[in-house]
Amino acid sequence: MNLLGTWIAAGLTVAILSFLYRDNPFYKFAEHLFVGVSAGYWVIYIWAFDVKPMLIDEFLRQAGVEKWLLIIPAVFGVMMLMRWVPRTAWISRWPISFTVGIAAGLALTAQVQGYIIPQIQATLLPLVSIGKTTSETIARSFNNIMIFVGVVCALLFFYFSREHKGALKVGSKVGIIFLMIGFGASFGYTVMARISLLIGRLTFLLQVFGLR
């Protein structure tokens, strides 16, 4: 049974890889199978991890007010599915606005507390930093200056309320330099990630064919 599974997996792997030659029925088959299978997974997941433990089991377990309050999310959930019928689709706006409201409320404070404040704090750096040796002092100060200049100039690049002339122009030009280095680093890392995925797949295939 496991051997069969391994060959199914290997077959599907090859079917997808065949896209490299050109688009073909094998690839199309695998692609559509993937979309169908992953959609099916959602249904099982929502049942096993959402509806059953959080609604049905809780409803059976709880008593009194707690029990009946669970009706509210259940009704919201059903309202969500009303979207499937065009005439009742508007009812789904209620639960959607509930989820959107919660997400927005949580995000508002989280982004300030979790990003903006700590990142401003981390950029509040003295431009000189005295180390044990002169070369350490120079290196540390240089790094502090680079972080400070980089952040400020990148922010200047995204400043739109004024024509970029004079000092603003110079600042935003420096900003672009930092941005490009940043994007380059991301690109390098992304290349690495993509190759790693191929390594993973090829290792699997080579193992199936007994070459590793």
Instruction: Report 90-109 residues binding other proteins (CB under 8 A).
Output: 90, 92-109
Per rule CB under 8 A, is residue 169 in the interface with other proteins? no
For position 170 contacting other proteins by CB under 8 A, the verdict is: no
If the CB atoms of residues 163 and 166 are measured against other proteins, the closer one turns out to be 163
End-to-end CA distance of the chain, in Å?
22
Exactly one of 68, 115, 138, 170 binds other proteins (CB under 8 A); that residue is: 115
Structure tokens belonging to residue 65? 């007010």
Q: Are 123 and 151 in contact (CB under 8 A)?
A: yes
Q: Minimum distance between the CB of residue 71 and other proteins, rounded to whole angstroms?
A: 11
Residues in contact with 99: Cβ distance below 8 Å, sequence separation at least 6, in sequence order: none
**Whole-angstrom Cα distance, residue 86 to residue 92?**
11
Binding footprint of other proteins, residue count (CB under 8 A) = 149
Cα dist from 86 to 33, 43, 135, whole Å: 28, 22, 71
Residue 131 interacts with other proteins (CB under 8 A): yes or no: no
Q: Is 195 in the site for other proteins (CB under 8 A)?
A: yes
Residues in region 47-86 near other proteins by CB under 8 A: 47-55, 57-58, 61, 69, 72-74, 76-78, 80-81, 83-84
